[in-house]
């Protein structure tokens, strides 16, 4: 991993390969290692940049609220450092929220936008309440909270099929400091609705939607792309499609990249 300093914080990233620039943004309690099984296929013909979001992986925290806009600023700072002007942007969950903020802020830089197990919509009141409860619980037993949070991202059947992978995800998640956990939760709670980008943006768009996603309602996710030109790929399992449906994700990404 390389890094830059932005507003006093270290922002970590990797930069590999040549060709069209693909920027991969991980989800909450994840980091750039989540893409390790996806990157090799993309690197055959593309330049791949993975960035650790604020308070995750090797990237430091920047205060106690990491808004999607602030995280998007750090992505732009890395791209400027690398002198990359055009990108295909792929975001998983929280990474998708950051990708949307970046696409709204710098639309001319976007060749394609992929939301993997993510949504354009703001938090519901119920979801905000759940985030508040998680923030209150974080100072109790952080390790148990994180382990339970990770397990709940997978479809019950997947928890048996992918025990090794889930153990690895939990290990990486526990590297996230409490400050990073809280700041990301606060930022997600505040994020704006950006569904308009699905209808009124010039670049290609793709959404991976999982039928058994325990975090994002399947029907609500489908309704976002109805009547739009957004491509969609329906997957059968849970919120961690890069693990539960890895081959389908890789195939879908490769096909999409060719159209951008």
Q: What pLDDT does 243 receive?
A: 98
Q: Give the pLDDT confidence of 194-210 residue by residue, as tens digits.
A: 999 999 999 999 999 99
Adjacency order of strands within the sheet including 2-6: 2-6, 9-16, 46-51, 20-25, 87-92, 110-116, 204-210, 231-235
Count up the domains in the chain and report the number. Answer: 1
| Cβ(55)–Cβ(63) below 8 Å | no
Nearest to 88 by CA among 27, 36, 14, 23: 23
Q: How far is CA 113 from CA 101, 170, 197, in A?
A: 11, 28, 10
Domain residues for the domain of 179 are 2-259
Render 6-26 in DSSP notation, one character per residue: ETTEEEEEEEE-SSEEEEEE-
Q: Give the pLDDT confidence of 65-103 residue by residue, as tens digits.
A: 999 999 999 999 999 999 999 999 999 999 999 999 999
Nearest to 213 by CA among 90, 82, 118: 118
Confidence category of residue 139, pLDDT binned at 50, 70, 90: confident
What CATH number did the domain enclosing 171 receive?
A: 3.40.50.1820
Whole-model pTM: value is 0.97
């Amino acid at each position: 991993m390389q890094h830059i300093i932005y507003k006093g914080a270290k922002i970590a990233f990797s930069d590999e390969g040549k060709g069209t620039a693909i920027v991969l943004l991980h989800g909450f309690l994840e980091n750039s290692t989540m893409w390790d099984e996806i990157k090799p296929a993309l690197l055959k013909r593309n330049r791949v940049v993975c960035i650790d979001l604020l308070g995750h992986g090797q990237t430091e925290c920047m205060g106690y609220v990491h808004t999607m806009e602030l995280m998007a600023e750090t992505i732009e700072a890395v791209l400027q450092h690398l002198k990359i002007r055009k990108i295909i942007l792929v975001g998983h969950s929280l990474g998708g929220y950051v990708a949307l903020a970046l696409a709204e802020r710098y639309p001319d830089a976007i060749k394609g936008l992929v939301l993997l197990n993510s949504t354009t919509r703001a938090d519901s009141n119920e979801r905000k309440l759940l985030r508040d409860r998680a923030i209150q619980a974080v100072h109790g037993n952080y390790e148990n909270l994180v382990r339970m949070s990770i397990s709940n991202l997978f479809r019950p059947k997947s928890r048996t099929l992918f025990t090794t992978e889930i153990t690895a995800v939990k290990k990486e998640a526990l590297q996230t400091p409490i400050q990073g956990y809280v700041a990301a939760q606060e930022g997600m709670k505040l994020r704006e609705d950006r569904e308009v980008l699905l209808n009124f943006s010039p670049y290609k768009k793709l959404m991976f939607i999982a039928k058994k996603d325990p975090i994002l309602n399947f029907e609500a996710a489908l309704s976002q792309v109805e009547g739009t030109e957004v491509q969609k790929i329906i997957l059968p399992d849970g919120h961690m499609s890069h693990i539960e449906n890895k081959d389908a994700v890789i195939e879908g990404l490769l096909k999409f990249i060719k159209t951008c």
